[in-house]
Amino acid sequence: MLATNLMHKTAGAIEDAVAVPFLHIADAVAQEATGLGAQHIGLLGTRPVLEDDFYAERLARHGIDVVVPDAPTRARLDEIIFGELTVGEVRPDSQAALHAAVTRLTTDGAQAVALACTELELPITAAEVPLIATARTHALAAADRALAT
């Protein structure tokens, strides 16, 4: 497993290079979404997670459709994540912007929202739809897999 959302853009190369099974974070997220009955999920994270295809394509393999924020919101997410959250800061205006992003994803049809950046769990603790804490979901899937063998 690779304990980061963004670096899963290299997952294909890792899967090709190792002989052991690789637990992709988006596979764990898809399993969680399916368990919630959510086939259409919102995705929040850094710009590459939202704009590159590696995450959404992996979710699509499981029948999960993804909705992402618009370009200005994606840029604001990067500012909040890299300028504040990675240094442990949560500004009230940024927290409001994050909650507004979740609400917009819900309005756009998201039945759940995946927090595809570990730091997003700091300011986003509740929403009108289920939240999928991707790092926690991935870790629990890994523990389940380890205990099953």
**Res 116: pLDDT:** 95
**Res 10: pLDDT:** 66
Active site (annotated) includes residue 46? no
All structural domains of the chain: 6-148 (3.40.50.1860)
Residues contacting residue 67 through CB under 8 Å, at least 6 positions apart: 40, 41, 42, 43, 105, 108, 109, 110
For tokens 């974070």, the residue is 25
The mean pLDDT value for 26-39 works out to 96
Q: Out of 46, 117, 134, 137, which one is annotated catalytic?
A: 117
**Res 76: pLDDT:** 97
Task: Give per-residue pLDDT as tens, 61-106.
Answer: 999 999 999 999 999 999 999 999 999 999 999 999 999 999 999 9
The mean pLDDT value for 17-43 works out to 93
pTM above 0.85, yes or no: yes
